[in-house]
Structure 1
Amino acid sequence: MSSAVSEILIVGAGYAGSVVARELADAGKRVRVIDKRPHIAGNAFDELDAHGVLVHRYGPHIFHTNAERIWEWLSRFTQWREYEHRVRGVVDGREYPFPINRDTLNALYGLDLDEAGAAAFFERVREPREPVRTSEDVVLNSVGRDLYEKFFLHYTRKQWGLDPSELKAGVAARIPVRTNTDDRYFTDTFQAMPKLGYTKMFEAILDHPNIRVELDVDFEDVRRRGTFAHTVYTGPIDAYFHHCHGRLPYRSLRFAHEHLPDVAEYQSVGTVNYPNDHAYTRITEFKHLTGQQHAGTSIVREYPQAEGDPYYPIPRTENELLFKRYEAMSADERDVTFVGRLAQYRYYNMDQVVGAALAAVRRLLD
């Protein structure tokens, strides 16, 4: 029997693939991890740029979770730097806290609301929607027309290439609205950044004698040649089935990285959103995220686009119905486990991918 037959093949060295690989390796299984990119860590990949600034190549990745077991699992492989992400939204040339909170209302409208006053303001301006089906319904039902148009409408059109009325409610439901002055983007119990970066954390996860990693490898080449005890597939599920029912729609991004020498700080917070101006959606300055000391600074602008690497499954009913056809086919693949954002066509956060991967391993080992 060849060695490959006793190996488990894992397609993708991002969160889903790496977590599954480590769990299987710890359970005594021999694992081969392949990735078509020249690096591990998937979209969380970070590295020093040409100027020595640690940057996230595929846009900002901020770790946050309420799940203690996921926090503890990852803590085996990294020390953490405490970090609470803050975002500002630019409207008519001025920056405001985002998600919308009481300070946003007071600064935007020249008010002096307390918490009860902010709650009353939202209640007065909201446009009740029943039932709430779309992202437009969610926002109008919560904050009304003016705030919707200032902060959400045009940003969503740029980000998704669709009107909020064309997207499922879950997209907008991810963004809270607050009557207090909490200006943190996330309120999870655990919020931090890997102290040495994500790539170093992934190196530690994959550092096991039972794990073999091969980069710049295409799954189709391996698929034609090899036979494995089991395959864990984390890529786009429609690609696995050669798009036989048509392509699942994904939103992609183009990243424009820039280094600014002799600029100690470019912006006041980690990320600034531009809902109404420019072709890009936001600018992130990495030194806020990493805490790195450097004479210059590095930023990235994000330009959403239709073509390119798949980043975000587009949450629309017709897309979910198409996914269900592929999901039904996947149930017949007895020797393949499908897990991750692309394989499950879900808009997962990083901690949710880890959770899905740990659950997949439990099922696989059982």
Structure 2
Amino acid sequence: MQIPEYQLFIHPSDRSELRKDIWLEDPVAAKLTVHKKKYEIDLTYRGSHIRDFHKKSYAISFYKPKMFRQVQELHWNAEFKDPSLIRNKLSFDFFEEIGCLAPTSRFVFLKINGVNEGLYLELESVDECFLRNRDLPKGPIFYAVDGDANFSLMSDLEKKVKESLKLGYEQKCGGEQDEIELQKMIFAINTISKEEFETEIVKYINVDQYLRWLAGVVFTQNFDGFVHNYALYQNGETGLFEVIPWDYDATWGRDVDGEVMEEDYLRIQGFNTLTARILDVKTFRIHYKSLLEEILSSIFTVEHLQPKIQALHDLIRPYMEKDPYEKDNLQLFDQEPAFICHYIEARGEYIRSQLDTLD
């Protein structure tokens, strides 16, 4: 299997503008050639702290033609702090296996103006195309853009009551009424009585899906995934909200800086107001425990995941040698499959040791 090569052409003056102000949100025009087919696109840098890295990540949208592989927008992630480059993809594939919605992803090799820019993980945008490609009902989508997306009435950033329950979210699709529904859901999470919570919360949240997502965060150990790094989708038929993971490079035993994160760093009960209230209900808590046990025995095992890890490593290894930002890191890169497998063993043991806390 070969990784597709993308030829990206940006006018030198536009590229200079991007480099001059890495926080520029206005896109620049560019041309993309894939398998000899040409596309006109808009392009910006993407991310927050990752914009400071030497190897930039990009967000692109297609306008001539408007569609590419059944999508209108894509993200090219440099995965700069992940020495394996596979943690994001491994996470999204894992989430899909345990019954969650997750973006599709694949590796591509990017050239800019004829020069090797390196290996990138191409991510599907979570938008209307995401829903259509899965035959899902239309519905609003909100991105959790900062720590105030904590399902609470209290601001995680300012440590006071929120001035608006929209704080922490950026609406990707939908209208004003959908924004009102989002606020109703957050208000309900915080005001439904303890006695009524089990019967009332299921009118707002797909609880089984939420618990599967919670399990995914806990197994991969994405520490800030509870108040950030997710999208909210309200199913247009059921009216229930579902959570979709996003940005999962700081996982599988490494933190946001690529440093070792010990296997017991994140408790299995997770964090945020919604998680705490759901796990306060014994029925939900026992269901969550059952999900953890099922995943521990079938999916989160070295036997199951090691072939997938090794296949991804072997796929991108030849392209790492051509990546100007990664070619000097091959020794660490080659150690990562064993590192991730060790994490799986250690994290699995830790989670097993904590299951009784859910009784």
Give TM class, smaller chain. under 0.3
TM-score w.r.t. the length of structure 1 is: 0.24
Q: Of the two structures, which has the highest relative contact order with CA contacts closer than 8 Å and spacing of 6 or more?
A: 1
Larger radius of gyration between Structure 1 and Structure 2: 1
